[in-house]
Chains A and B, each alone.
Chain A
Amino acid sequence: MSVDEKFDAACELLYRLDPTKVKSHLQSLIALEPEIAEGLLSTIDVPLTVKKDSDSNNKEFLCCDYNRDIDSHRSPWSNTYFPELSAKDLEESPFPSEPLRALELACNNSFELYRDLYYEGGITSTYLWDVDESTDFAGIILFKKAESEDAKWDSIHVISATNDEDGNQVTYNVTTTVILHLENLSKEQQLSLSGNLTRETSKTVKLRNVSTVEQLVHAHSSNLGSMVEDIESKLRSMLEVVYFEKTLDIYNVLRESNDASTKLQKEQHSELIENFQKL
């Protein structure tokens, strides 16, 4: 079997196995076939981890494979790696170019506002990187809200921005995954709803009045902001339907009650799902 076939088989498995154990299964599969490690680590989304930026009043930032170098992660606030990297390691560590760092700061600022309005708490971090010495760029926009172990939300937007040849318009591609974990573990009955949904979106936008760097930064950060807002709203609705309607529908076919009120409830669920599918 080729490495590609093994990579595909491992991905299929990770989309089947219990999503709460994705980290340990990822490690197991890498142990079985070390050659697929790099591909799996950049393909499979795992819950985000949190570090503190001691150069910015210990402000928290989010960590994933995209802002990692060796065992350190770059903070979007101070643009510094934590734990600190040696001068020699830093020579090869990735940093955004100066104009892109300006956009990165602007995005982090605007998504702080967004986070405040929609999450009323939580953490956000945006990381950008240059693509092939062009004005194109790619990046990742992250949100995490975890009030307790019982209810956790991670949203991960992998983005790319590609300019057309004359620079009049830009196409944004966004692949979003939301990892949502809910559980209710009382003594008499345990219940968990856990997993992730992914959605891909693409949008081409005309660039107007972008003669200065400042204007361009504003254009990109507001375009990305409005896309992320739309996508998260749609995904939130999808999650609500899948977590609370689809799963209960499956339960209802496993145990078909002859009770009339349960049957009525079931019909209402399928109506909701039909409405959702029309979206």
Chain B
Amino acid sequence: MSDFEKIVRDIVFDSPVEEISLVYDNLQVLSDGESKQQIVSIIQDFNEKYRVPVTSGKDRYIVSEYNKSGSKYYDPLNKVIFSVDHITREVSDLKDYTDADSTDEQLKLADQLSTYVSKFFPDTAAYNVFKIPDSDKLTVVIVSNKKSLGDFWTGYWLSEYIYDVKEGTITGDISVDAHYFEDGNVRFKSSAALKPTNTDSPVVDIKQFEKQFENNLIEKFQYMNATQFKGLRRRLPVTRAKINWGQGIGNYRLGRDAAQDA
């Protein structure tokens, strides 16, 4: 890997998922527009890794290494195949795809997932169930992406699980990433891993794990605010009054000592 490629890869993979087209523009400027193909190909890797939703009108599909067919992607539930512009994340050349046979287990899981996602995620969230080639395993993906660049924020939820149909076990990860950039650059990230768990009803376990994730998250926020943040800088000094700079700090120091003695 060239130094250039390594740098671009580090930058792309550290970007807020919903800001990739802006990052692409900046990288184009920095490389004098001479490495377009190389940058797009790194962004394609990034989009696949984060299972980004791509859109065709109101319809949303997910891209990943599991549903790739040559330079295209297919959706095993909706039985379509399509091309993707990895910068705009728009679908083109959408066609029926009958080659994608789905198992009963896959369809059943997708059905339960659909109910869960519609109840706990916004309408714009996307999900899918992919077969992992040459195995009895299914991958469950849930992504939810939102942004309002005019209000200076973007956010991304990705949860992904591997369900071993034969063994009856499930493992997985959740990662959340929010970026707020009015007058600054603030990033919030949280992640958790689901250890291998025996299951006869994967969506019930997913629901429980994601609920626990949210409870932990709120608890941690409260602790960070009440303890970690407050311990860094006080809102006001112990005296509960702002410093009287006009008097000179010599006098003030005496006043403070007197206040503490009182």
Footprint of B on A, CB under 8 Å? Answer: 1, 5-6, 8-10, 12-21, 24-25, 28-29, 31-33, 109-110, 113-114, 117-120, 145, 147, 150-153, 177, 180, 182, 184, 188-199, 218, 222-223, 225-226, 229, 232-233, 236, 238-240, 242-244, 246-248, 250-251, 253-258
Question: Is the CB–CB distance between A33 and B185 below 8 Å?
Answer: no
Q: A10-B30, A151-B228, A229-B242 are in contact. List 14 more A-B contacts (CB 8 A).
A: A12-B26, A15-B181, A16-B16, A16-B26, A17-B15, A18-B187, A29-B7, A113-B253, A118-B234, A151-B232, A177-B184, A189-B217, A193-B187, A226-B245
* Docked pose: A110 CA to B251 CA in angstroms: 12
Question: Is the CB–CB distance between B144 and A255 below 8 Å?
Answer: yes
Question: Is the CB–CB distance between A254 and B176 below 8 Å?
Answer: yes
Helix, strand, loop or mixed for chain B's interface? Answer: mixed
Residues of B within 8 A of A1 (CB): 29-30, 32-33
In the complex with contacts A184-B223, A251-B176, A242-B186 CB distance below 8 A: yes
* Docked pose: A239 CA to B184 CA in angstroms: 10
* Docked pose: A53 CA to B221 CA in angstroms: 38
Considering the complex, give the chain A residue whose CB is closest to the CB of B248.
Answer: A218
* Docked pose: A119 CA to B146 CA in angstroms: 37
In the complex with contacts A6-B29, A196-B184, A25-B23 CB distance below 8 A: no
Indicate whether B178 reaches chain A with its CB closer than 8 angstroms.
yes
* Docked pose: A201 CA to B122 CA in angstroms: 40
What is the CB-to-nearest-CB distance from A30 to chain B, in angstroms, rounded to a whole number? 10
Question: Is the CB–CB distance between A184 and B188 below 8 Å?
Answer: no
Question: Is the CB–CB distance between A222 and B180 below 8 Å?
Answer: no
In the complex with contacts A29-B30, A153-B233, A254-B155, A194-B187 CB distance below 8 A: yes
* Docked pose: A251 CA to B192 CA in angstroms: 15
What is the CB-to-nearest-CB distance from A145 to chain B, in angstroms, rounded to a whole number? 5
Q: List 25 A-B contacts (CB under 8 A).
A: A1-B33, A13-B27, A16-B19, A16-B26, A17-B14, A31-B3, A32-B7, A110-B249, A151-B231, A184-B224, A189-B213, A190-B191, A192-B188, A195-B180, A197-B184, A225-B243, A226-B245, A243-B186, A244-B221, A244-B229, A254-B145, A255-B144, A255-B210, A257-B120, A258-B119
Indicate whether B59 reaches chain A with its CB closer than 8 angstroms.
no
Residues of A within 8 A of B189 (CB): 190-192
Question: Is the CB–CB distance between A246 and B224 below 8 Å?
Answer: no
- Interface size grouping (class) on chain B: 35 or more
Residues of B within 8 A of A197 (CB): 183-184, 186
Question: Is the CB–CB distance between A31 and B7 below 8 Å?
Answer: yes
* Docked pose: A66 CA to B229 CA in angstroms: 28
- CB contact between A25 and one of B14, B179, B225, B232 (< 8 Å): that residue: B14
Give B1-29 as 1s and 0s: 1 = Cβ < 8 Å from A's Cβ atoms. 00110010011001110010011011101
Considering the complex, give the chain A residue whose CB is closest to the CB of B241.
Answer: A117
Residues of A within 8 A of B178 (CB): 247, 250-251, 254
Question: Is the CB–CB distance between A17 and B11 below 8 Å?
Answer: yes
Question: Is the CB–CB distance between B155 and A251 below 8 Å?
Answer: yes
Task: List the 10 shortest-distance A-B pairs measured between CB atoms, nearest first.
Answer: A195-B186, A222-B245, A197-B184, A117-B237, A247-B188, A9-B29, A250-B178, A250-B155, A9-B26, A189-B192
Considering the complex, give the chain A residue whose CB is closest to the CB of B253.
Answer: A113
What is the CB-to-nearest-CB distance from B125 to chain A, in angstroms, rounded to a whole number? 8
In the complex with contacts A189-B213, A191-B220, A119-B233 CB distance below 8 A: yes
Question: Is the CB–CB distance between B228 and A150 below 8 Å?
Answer: yes
In the complex with contacts A19-B186, A31-B7, A250-B153, A191-B246 CB distance below 8 A: no
Question: Is the CB–CB distance between B184 and A195 below 8 Å?
Answer: yes
Considering the complex, give the chain B residue whose CB is closest to the CB of A218.
Answer: B248
Considering the complex, give the chain A residue whose CB is closest to the CB of B143.
Answer: A254
Which residues of chain B in 11-66 are interfacial with respect to chain A, using CB atoms and an 8 Å cutoff? 11, 14-16, 19, 22-23, 25-27, 29-33
Question: Is the CB–CB distance between A256 and B176 below 8 Å?
Answer: no
Residues of A within 8 A of B229 (CB): 151, 180, 182, 239-240, 243-244
